[in-house]
Amino acid sequence: MLTSPETWTQGDIAALLRTRDPDEIEEIRAAAEQVLLRECGDAVHLRGLVESSNVCKCDCDYCGIRKSRRDVERYTLEEDDILACAHLIAELGYGSMVIQSGERSDQKFIDLTARAVARIKRETRSGDLPDGLGITLCVGQQSRDVYQRLFDAGAHRYLLRIETTNPDLFAKIHPKEQTLASRMECLEVLREVGFQVGTGVMIGLPGQTVEDLAADVMFYKTQDVDMFGMGPYIPAPDTPLVAQDCPPAEDRLRLGFLMIAATRLLCRDVNIASTTALQTLHPHARETGLRFGANVLMPQTTPPERRRSYQLYAGKSNLDENAATFRTELEARLKAIGRRIEVNKWGDSRHAVRRMQ
């Protein structure tokens, strides 16, 4: 029997994450789904994902677009290309988009992103979307001024993953210029600037324990975060971490689902994405993630000719996802699990809406 999440300790969450018995997993899943339906309803929010540049100044040990990788063809989408993606997303009725890129602090890129955001807000307004597309940014650690500028341009949500809350593990997988403390500080600044803030971790990293993951979930609760994106770690070729052992794929997959459920049970009214990394480990895993308490999907809307250059890990599953047919196919699959797509809405988390009232 599941105990009440309000009383959970790190040990209780670790015990939940260790579950392997199918009946117990089903009990956890059903409980998380029930909390989701009660707190957030049956809607699945879509955010068209545009990977605007794979140029990156960071050298994270796990990442397929890290600076040191010489064989990656680097690109930056033109402003008009980003706008074309935004128009497609609006036409498809997704209501929101995510602009994600490698981490860059050069002025040219910040200017480009701010200009694109402002134009998207202006040019996607319609009867269906009176305030234009909702925009989430995922462009890494930036200064307060840059965050402010991007917010003023019209972006209203920001995703910055913490990757892991274990400082030793964080230090092991990042070059020394990057620190957990500065990432945490960015989350604070983003909140102060006025963004709805999302974070998350990778699941099944070499050297990561179930206790670490339980601490991550405890951290989520204390931070009053609005949204989460987390997924299994997937080894990327030609990266330092690829040589190190990580748990087998089925364990990372199960842990991915259980992390979603634990987060839903504890944080209740937040948005949780069912990520591409999950789907990379199993073709139907994104839908399974929704059944474990996730309520956001990020369909691939990067121009097809660029997708192959934006591979954070090996075997990324949605390279051939077709933006035009994705929605109809998804609609049928969601119906089968008692869920529906929400059309032409930003789909902010109830948590954020309540917090900002």
Binding site for ligand 5AD (CB under 6 A): 62-63, 161, 163, 202, 231, 233-234, 236, 277, 312-313
Of the two residues 120 and 202, which places its CB atom closer to ligand 5AD in the complex?
202
Q: How far is it, in rounded angstroms, from Cα 139 to Cα 103?
A: 6
Of the two residues 16 and 202, which places its CB atom closer to ligand 5AD in the complex?
202
Query: What is the nearest approach in angstroms of ligand 5AD to the Cβ of residue 281?
Result: 10
Q: How far is it, in rounded angstroms, from Cα 228 to Cα 213?
A: 14
Query: What is the nearest approach in angstroms of ligand 5AD to the Cβ of residue 72?
Result: 13
Q: How far apart are the first and last CA of the chain?
A: 36
CA angle 87, 91, 94 (to 5 degrees): 95
DSSP 113-149: HHHHHHHHHHHT--SS-TT--EEEEE-----HHHHHH
Of the two residues 146 and 202, which places its CB atom closer to ligand 5AD in the complex?
202
Query: What is the nearest approach in angstroms of ligand 5AD to the Cβ of residue 202?
Result: 5
Query: What is the nearest approach in angstroms of ligand 5AD to the Cβ of residue 79?
Result: 22
Q: How far is it, in rounded angstroms, from Cα 337 to Cα 43?
A: 12
Of the two residues 125 and 282, which places its CB atom closer to ligand 5AD in the complex?
282
Q: How far is it, in rounded angstroms, from Cα 328 to Cα 297?
A: 14
Q: How far is it, in rounded angstroms, from Cα 135 to Cα 120?
A: 9
Query: What is the nearest approach in angstroms of ligand 5AD to the Cβ of residue 173?
Result: 10
Residue type, 110: I
Of the two residues 49 and 330, which places its CB atom closer to ligand 5AD in the complex?
49
